[in-house]
Amino acid sequence: MRVYHFTEQPYYPAWNDHQGSLRINLPNERCDPKTAGDLYHRWYDEWLVADDLGLDIMLNEHHQTATCMSSTVIVGLSILARETKKARLLVLGYPLGHRPDPLRCAEELSTIDVISRGRLDMGFIKGVPYEFPASNQNPVAVMDRFWEAHDFIIKAMTHRGENFNWEGEYFHYRQVNIWPRPVQQPHPPIWSTTGNRSQARLLGEKGYVMATLGSGYATRPLQDAYRAGYFAKRGVHAPADRFGYLGLVAVADNEAEARRRGDLVAGYLRSSAIVHVPFRNPPGFLAVEDYARMLKGQSPPRTFTKDGRAIDMYKGSVQDLIDAGVLFCGTPDQVYEQIVAFCEYCGGMGNLLMMGHAGFLTHEDTVDNLTLFGKEVLPRLKAWKQPVAEVAAA
C-alpha cells in the first residue's frame, strides 16, 4: 500500500471571518502575502518530513480561495520535484476543465516528470463547479472538453517523429512536438476521480487509478463499477493499486489527543462547502437530469457509515466521521485497524490519500501526526496483503 500525505495548503487565518463564502469572492486583501509565504514554506517543510518518512506526496489546485492557496499546482510540484528524493508526486487533481491550453499542460507535466526523475502521477479531473466563474471556461460540455484535453495530452506525451497536427472540437494546434518528453513510459500514470458509476466503469476500462473522496462506506459500488469495466477489457480482476481513497488522518499517542487533532483536521470538511450559493452548481456541470433533481431539492446523502447510517460529511462529529470511514483517527493501532477494515470493505484499496494536515492543526501536531503514522502505521500497512475483489458474476 502507498500512502500520500496531502494538505490543501489552506489560508486558515481567514477562516473565522467571512461573509458566507471562503471561495471565489472572498476579497484577496484578506490574504496577507507575508503570512502566505510563511505558510507555503511550512507546507513544503512538512512534505519533506513526509518524504523522509517514506510517505508519498499529493498536491492539488484550487482558485480564488482561502481553503487552498495552491492556485497553480505546477509551482508546488516544481519545488517538490527538486527538493524531495523518494516520494511519488501525485497531482489530484489537475483540473483540465478549467484549462484553456492542454499543450501547456503536457509541457508542464512532462517537465515535472523529468525533473523528479519519473515520480509524477497525473490525476486529471474536470475541476470543481464553483471555479467555473473564476476560470471562465464553460461548464456546459465540460466532460467533452476534458476528454479531448486528455487525448491531446497523451498524444503529445507519447508522439515521436515529425510534428503532429490537432484540429479538434475544442483545441487547435499546428506543430506539436513537446520538449522534454516524459521519462516514465509511455507516460506518467493517470489517475482520476468520480462520483458516478458510468464514469467509474469507463475509468476501469482505461485502467486508470480511480480515487474517491468522502465516499466512506458508500465507496464499494463505485469500485465495483470500475472492476466491471477493468475486467471487461482485460479478463483479469482489478488489483488494489487501481484504487485510491482520500481519508482524513489524525494519529496520536492517546485517543483523546487523536480526537482533538481529528476535530481540527475535520476543519477541512467544515470549511470546504462554504461557498457563495449561486456558484455551487453552474448549469451544465451536472448531467441535466441530475441538475433537474437538484432544482427540485433532491440531493440524496452520499456518505454512509458501515451500518448504513447517512451522515453529513460537512457537519458530522468526529465519531460520525470515523464511523463513516471519512476520518481515520486514534492511536496507531486503532488507525491501522480502521484503515485495514476499510480496505477489506473495499475489496482492496491500495492508495490512501492521507489528509495529514488540515485547518488549524499546528506544524508541531502535523509533524507528530506524520511521524507517528510513518513509523507505526505505514510499515504495517505496507506489510499487509490487500485482497483482490473479483467481479460479481453478471
Partner 1 sequence: MSVTADAATSLVVNGTTLETIERGRGRPILFLHPSNGIDAGAPVLDRLAQGGRVIAPSHPGFGASQLPKGMTTIDDVSYFYLDLLEQLDLRDVLVVGVGIGGWIAAEIAVKSTERLSQLVLGNPVGLKFGDRETRDIVDIWSVTPDEFNALAYHDPNVGKRDYKSLPDAEALAAARNREATARFGWSPYMHNPKLKHRLHRICIPTLILWGTADRILSESYGRSYAAAIAGAKFEPIERAGHFPHVEQPEEFARRALAFADTPAARARRA
> Is the omega angle on the peptide bond into residue 186 within 30 degrees of 0, that is, cis?
yes
Binder among 197, 237, 276, 302 for partner 1 (CB under 8 A)? 276
| Residue (of 26, 84, 45, 33) closest to 362 by Cα position | 45
Binder among 270, 293, 302, 363 for partner 1 (CB under 8 A)? 293
CB of 203 to partner 1, least distance (A): 25
How many of the chain's residues bind partner 1 (CB under 8 A)?
21
Stretch that binds partner 1, among 39-47, 184-192, 291-299, 377-385 (CB under 8 A): 291-299
CB of 21 to partner 1, least distance (A): 11
The torsion region of residue 330 among left (phi > 0), alpha (psi -120 to 50) and beta comes to left
220 belongs to the binding site for partner 1 (CB under 8 A) = no
Stretch that binds partner 1, among 43-51, 281-289, 362-370, 381-389 (CB under 8 A): 281-289
CB of 26 to partner 1, least distance (A): 14
CB of 28 to partner 1, least distance (A): 17
Angle between helices 33-52 and 73-83 in degrees, nearest 10 = 40
Binder among 283, 301, 379, 387 for partner 1 (CB under 8 A)? 283
Is the CB of residue 129 less than 8 Å from the CB of residue 139? Answer: yes
For residue 166, give Cα distances in angstroms to 109, 163, 170, 218.
19, 10, 10, 40
DSSP annotation string for 107-132: HHHHHHHHHTTS-EEEEEE---GGGH
Cell 509565504 sits on residue: 37
- Give, for 351, the enclosing helix (H) or strand (E): strand 351-355
279 belongs to the binding site for partner 1 (CB under 8 A) = yes
Map the footprint of partner 1 across residues 126-155, applying CB under 8 A: 133, 136, 138-141
CB of 170 to partner 1, least distance (A): 10
| Residue (of 283, 287, 351, 355) closest to 321 by Cα position | 355
CB nearer to partner 1: pick between 237 and 293: 293
Residues 6+ apart with CB under 8 A from 310: 301, 303, 304
Binder among 27, 296, 393, 394 for partner 1 (CB under 8 A)? 296
CB of 168 to partner 1, least distance (A): 13
Q: How many residues does the chain have?
A: 394
118 belongs to the binding site for partner 1 (CB under 8 A) = no
Binder among 292, 306, 362, 387 for partner 1 (CB under 8 A)? 292
Binder among 13, 168, 207, 284 for partner 1 (CB under 8 A)? 284
What is the chain's percent helix, strand, coil content, to nearest 5?
A: 45, 15, 40
Binder among 180, 195, 278, 379 for partner 1 (CB under 8 A)? 278
CA 179 to chain CA centroid, nearest Å:
27
CB of 131 to partner 1, least distance (A): 13
CB of 18 to partner 1, least distance (A): 17
Map the footprint of partner 1 across residues 67-106, applying CB under 8 A: none
For residue 256, give Cα distances in angstroms to 263, 272, 329.
11, 25, 10
CB of 279 to partner 1, least distance (A): 7
CB of 142 to partner 1, least distance (A): 11
* Three-state DSSP class for residue 245: strand
CB nearer to partner 1: pick between 75 and 292: 292
295 belongs to the binding site for partner 1 (CB under 8 A) = yes
CB nearer to partner 1: pick between 16 and 136: 136
Stretch that binds partner 1, among 109-117, 154-162, 179-187, 278-286 (CB under 8 A): 278-286
The Cα 83–Cα 61 span in angstroms is: 20
Is the CB of residue 4 less than 8 Å from the CB of residue 57? Answer: yes
Binder among 27, 33, 235, 297 for partner 1 (CB under 8 A)? 297
Strand-pairing partners, residue 166, are: 173
Tell me the CB-side half-sphere exposure of residue 198, using CA atoms within 13 A. Answer: 2
Residues at the interface with partner 1 (CB under 8 A): 133, 136, 138-141, 276-279, 282-284, 288-289, 291-293, 295-297
